[in-house]
């Protein structure tokens, strides 16, 4: 009887730790009327998305990026897969086209509380933004909890 109670308590404890584990997401939203070419450059200490063998639960795929239609309320149920235009694993860069009124998940991981700071995003070879810890280019929600999502909105 005591073993069953201990096992039940252990399973409940493991489940509660797993359910409270933070996850992160980095997204870029295109709220303009034109397509944007996005080039993503990762810092030297980062493994290329999808090349970790599934250990980090990356949302990014090996040869494509998940995008979501912002006009659809249930867009997360039907992601639109966009192929990468170019990918350089040595330089840790890739690029893709982001349609108007779409959002792209650039980095997403479970079991993590912070994204990879130092990522650089070049938009249409004109604008350059960098994901830094206390920068103003990306908005973090929720602000005070571990994990969360960092989002940059491209506007006209």
- Domain ranges, residue 90: 22-154
Confirm whether 8 is domain-assigned.
no
Give residue-wise pLDDT tens across range 73-123: 776 778 888 999 998 888 888 999 999 999 998 887 776 667 888 899 999
pLDDT at 4: 81
pLDDT at 99: 94
Domain count, the chain: 1
Confirm whether 142 is domain-assigned.
yes
pLDDT at 22: 66
Confirm whether 108 is domain-assigned.
yes
Nearest to 38 by CA among 92, 99, 109: 99
Confirm whether 54 is domain-assigned.
yes
pLDDT at 91: 86
Global model pTM greater than 0.85 = no
* pLDDT band at 24; cut points 50, 70, 90: confident
**Distance (Å) of CA 51 to CA 26, 61, 73, 117, 141:** 18, 9, 31, 18, 27
Confirm whether 17 is domain-assigned.
no
* pLDDT band at 58; cut points 50, 70, 90: very low
85: number of Cβ within 10 Å: 12
pLDDT at 57: 43
Sheet holding 80-83, edge to edge: 80-83, 64-69, 102-110, 23-30, 148-154, 139-141
The DSSP bridge pattern shows strands 80-83 and 148-154 to be unpaired
Confirm whether 4 is domain-assigned.
no
Residue 75: what are its φ and ψ, rounded to 5°?
-65, -25
Confirm whether 100 is domain-assigned.
yes
* pLDDT band at 31; cut points 50, 70, 90: very high
Share of the chain above pLDDT 90, in %: 29
Residue 125: what are its φ and ψ, rounded to 5°?
55, 25
Confirm whether 9 is domain-assigned.
no
Most confident of 10-24, 37-51, 60-74, 126-140: 126-140
More confident residue, 35 or 145: 35
Give the pair of three-digit tokens for residue 108: 């997403």
């Amino acid at each position: 009887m005591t073993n069953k109670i201990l096992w039940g308590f252990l399973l409940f404890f493991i489940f509660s730790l797993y359910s409270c584990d933070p996850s992160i997401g980095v997204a870029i939203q295109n709220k303009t009327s034109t397509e944007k070419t996005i080039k993503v450059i990762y810092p030297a200490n980062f493994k290329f998305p999808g090349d970790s063998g599934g250990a980090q639960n990356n949302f990014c795929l090996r040869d494509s990026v998940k995008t979501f239609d912002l006009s659809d309320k249930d867009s997360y149920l039907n992601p639109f897969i966009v192929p990468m235009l170019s990918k350089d694993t040595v330089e840790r860069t890739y690029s893709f086209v982001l349609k108007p009124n779409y959002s792209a998940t650039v980095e997403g991981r479970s079991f993590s509380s912070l994204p990879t700071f130092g990522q650089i995003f070049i938009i249409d070879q004109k604008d350059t933004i960098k994901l830094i810890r206390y920068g103003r280019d990306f908005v973090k929600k929720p602000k005070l909890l571990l994990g969360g999502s960092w989002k940059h909105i491209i506007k006209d």
